[in-house]
Structure 1
Amino acid sequence: MCVEAIPPPSGRLTRRGVLAGAAALAGTMAAAVPADAASRARDAASPAGRSASGGSARGDTLVIEGGTLLDPATGDVTENAVVVIEDGTVRAAGPRGSVTVPRGADTLDAHGRWVLPGLIDAHIHLSTAAEALDAVHQGATSARSGSTSFYQDIAVRELARHSPGLAPRLTAAGIFVTPDLGETVLADPDLTPLARLQDGVRSAEALRRVVEVNVARGADVIKTRVNERAGLPEQDPLTQVYSHEQLSEIVGAARRRGKGVLCHSYSERGCHDAVTAGIRSLEHGVFVGERTLGEMRRRGTYFTPTLTAIAGLADSADPVLAERGRTYLPVLERAVLAAHELGVPLAAGTDSSGGTVRPIGREVELMRAAGLSALDAIRTATTGAARLLGLERTAGRLARGFAGDAILLDGDPLADVTLLKRPVRVVRAGLAL
């Protein structure tokens, strides 16, 4: 319970002011990118990017030609394909001879390579411009934030809007709705009254406050949790921190503002409480059971298992975390396959954080290892993730009207999905990086 009443968020905070501040911060962040990385992105500063020979851009159109094009939506494979990207948007894509190539356009030679839409990381923590750029270079041209401590993800989103070569198209989550905000209580003046709460952010009033401040700050989605963390040895990820009633309060507050909720979850009871409270996507979900998966299928709730993060625990120097990784990964793999077979929608997410950006291709590799076909595994990082993020008409395909985001691979990903971990070229909004 609250010790005393909490006044409503200040009316002085406007979305326009927030976004202006975020854009300014994004510019500061861009300036902080290492010089070599920034120069690589800015070499492609025009919408057309660089030509295949590495020369400067000559116009506002980029043509990717000669590669083998994969459409994840249909599974169609087109050899000797041509993709025309104009002003950052695909204007035409198909076999050579069916596509008119604009005169004077910059070209990217894809002969001998496979061409796929840019990948989507549906759970990543991007707190710096360097991390954002690294994500793009590893093929994640779109992403959804899993929260940041001080609204850095909102600034990264604005950075991507005015300098797409520097960051993925980002759906921002703002700060975590969690019982203990810690130093994050200083992320916004309207959060500081929560510091006096003896029990933390647990009352309906406090839960609504964090959601409201996030929305006022410009967050696109809301992130919360139902269990403790797996990545901290002193915490038990099966311990529940919010009840069904509290989760429902968070979901209700978010829905009233047109926002969905992603929920950090591990235990079956926690997963079930989160899903029945109305969350949009279940994150991690190691011990999710058949009952909850059936509910997810019925409701259309997405599953973002973050296999990469769970597998990474096994490499930890901490024996508690290493044992968790070894124990949890096979359990989660079985849950992923069961979800897929039931028709639960899956989305790929690495849960990268702390300055280390893992390739989204690694998550696709682990989806494949869990039992999905190569095409279905690729869909979790393209069309499936795009639907989760509300980008089904923007990302996940290289078709007319979609974003001009692409990756080039040195071989056939349907035969070897590990190629997705090592894109040889990345195109972001028509910028050849």
Structure 2
Amino acid sequence: MCVDPAPSPPGRVTRRGVLAGAAALAGTAAALSAASSAAARGRAPGRTAASAGDLVVEGGTLLDPATGEVIADAVVVIRDGRVHAAGARARVEVPDDVPRLDAHGRWVLPGLVDAHIHLNTAAEAREAVRKGATSARSGSTNFYQDLAVRELARQAPDLAPRVRAAGVFVTPDLGDTLLADPDLTALARLKDGVRSAEALRRVVGVNLARGADVIKTRVNERAGLPEQDPLAQVYSYEQLSEVVRAARRGGKGVLCHSYSERGCDDAVRAGVRSLEHGVFVSERTLHDMRRRGTCFTPTLTAIAGLADSPNPVLAERGRTYLPILKEAVRAAHLLGVPLAAGTDSSGGEIEPIGREVEFMHAAGLSALDAIRTATTGAARLLGLQEAAGRLARGFSGDLILVDGDPLADVSVLRTPLRVVRAGRAL
């Protein structure tokens, strides 16, 4: 949580391999669920994804997180998986030849964005969508599963969220991740692990060759392992800067796992795009984050989960860290630091992104601002501000229906009644 100098790993072969694996994953998952999904959507199993995605959602109360506008008796028209029109019924022309979803008595919001999640299986990807996360940023996987999930989402959008994939973790000890790509195996000879500039560039380079959208690294050890000290620093400012430079050469940003005050400061000064966890981030570093536009993804859900651990070390860690992190979130928000919601779900336990919105609200954000961390704010971090986070013309036809006013009770986001992904009602 020093390699021998060598040319950059070839992108063509490895990228072809991951796409081939992705296609197999997508085909298997789609085949397993074709009958039930087709029945639920009322069409034959053989119909292609490209011909689906038309839907009218009518009668609900529509919330636009960007403006805070609330529209009663609203209509959302989705064509080919994208929003064609959205607004008050009197102002929207409703086609007659499109399936309808009755939203009377419900609130309608854009699909939520989980900005830090680990999706290792098709089942986890499916579960994330069903719990409201129609877009997501991977926090890394061990064997490039997130790249395959990204492809699965393209081929069968109702089976996976739209994903920004991080590939494999840039961390000192890769463990079995050395087997994720042949170009990583040379790192097995290193006595001190992935620490030299050459080794750091190698891992970033393999990720870029495989088609990663972002790069994930760390500055501290893990909080979720009792034998590790989350305040112990594993990479220096100089090493983090090397990772950031290598990522930027490939046109990518970096998200950084961080806990300690010094670690957070080093990561931000090195130029990471977003700070993950960040329990002991200082006010000085928060000011620097605001100046640089560095995003804060606190993963309050994951920290709160530690408090429920049967392990006494982890439980004490969770009880101690959560109030400190909430205060950091409140301070960041007051300073104007951009915030994004992320659950840090992994290992088959997918938390609803709505729970992170609850924690954001409990940390001092208004209900609307808390919702923005899982819609417009997170979409901006992922570079999806023109596709996700709103229900406006041209945006993806992703939405959730909830049983109540989320501006009065954000907890309704934890259990969406219905999820629509690219115009497909789940």
TM-score bracket for this pair, using the shorter chain length = over 0.9
Asked if the contact 2:15/2:210 (under 8 Å) is kept, the reply is: no
1:92-241 equivalence runs, <5 A: 92-241=85-234
Q: Does 1:330 align with 2:323?
A: yes
Pick aligned residue for 1:282 from 251, 261, 275: 275
Q: Does 1:80 align with 2:69?
A: no
* Separation in 2, partners of 1:147, 1:326: 26
Q: Does 1:308 align with 2:276?
A: no
SS state at 1:144 partner: strand
* Separation in 1, partners of 2:316, 2:392: 44
2:373 aligns with 380
Query: Deviation at 1:420?
Result: 0.2
SS state at 1:356 partner: coil
Q: Does 1:89 align with 2:82?
A: yes
Asked if the contact 2:30/2:156 (under 8 Å) is kept, the reply is: no
1:266 aligns with 259
Counterpart code for 1:21: A
* Separation in 1, partners of 2:404, 2:319: 31
Q: For residues 419 and 119 of structure 1, do their structure 2 counterparts lie closer, same or farther at Cα, with a shift above 3 Å needed?
A: same
Pick aligned residue for 2:344 from 351, 356, 366: 351
Counterpart code for 2:423: G
Asked if the contact 1:157/1:169 (under 8 Å) is kept, the reply is: yes
Asked if the contact 2:19/2:148 (under 8 Å) is kept, the reply is: no
Query: Deviation at 1:45?
Result: 6.2
* Separation in 2, partners of 1:128, 1:404: 24
For residues 55-76 of structure 1, give each alpha carbon's deviation from its aligned partner in whole angstroms, at most 9, with x where no partner exists: xxx9752100000000000000
Relative to the length of structure 1, the TM-score reads 0.94
Asked if the contact 2:9/2:205 (under 8 Å) is kept, the reply is: no
Asked if the contact 1:38/1:166 (under 8 Å) is kept, the reply is: no
Query: Deviation at 1:321?
Result: 0.1
Q: Does 1:339 align with 2:321?
A: no
SS state at 1:251 partner: helix
Asked if the contact 2:9/2:209 (under 8 Å) is kept, the reply is: no
Relative to the length of structure 2, the TM-score reads 0.95
1:27 aligns with 26
* Separation in 2, partners of 1:59, 1:317: 46
For residues 264-322 of structure 1, give each alpha carbon's deviation from its aligned partner in whole angstroms, at most 9, with x where no partner exists: 00001000000000000000000001010000000000000000000000000000000
Query: Deviation at 1:343?
Result: 0.1
Counterpart code for 1:27: A
SS state at 1:245 partner: helix
Counterpart code for 1:30: A
1:52 aligns with none
Query: Deviation at 1:47?
Result: 10
Q: For residues 306 and 29 of structure 1, do their structure 2 counterparts lie closer, same or farther at Cα, with a shift above 3 Å needed?
A: farther
SS state at 1:170 partner: strand
1:11 aligns with 10
SS state at 1:68 partner: strand
Query: Deviation at 1:29?
Result: 5.3
State the percentage of identical aligned residues: 74
For residues 202-257 of structure 1, give each alpha carbon's deviation from its aligned partner in whole angstroms, at most 9, with x where no partner exists: 00000000000001011000000000000000000000000000000000000000
Structure 1 gap segments, 5+ residues each? 50-57
* Separation in 2, partners of 1:380, 1:83: 23
Counterpart code for 2:133: A
* Separation in 2, partners of 1:21, 1:39: 24
RMSD: 1.9
2:55 aligns with 62
Q: For residues 157 and 46 of structure 1, do their structure 2 counterparts lie closer, same or farther at Cα, with a shift above 3 Å needed?
A: farther
* Separation in 1, partners of 2:161, 2:185: 31
Task: Give the number of aligned pairs.
Answer: 420
Query: Deviation at 1:38?
Result: 6.2
2:424 aligns with 431
* Separation in 2, partners of 1:351, 1:248: 24
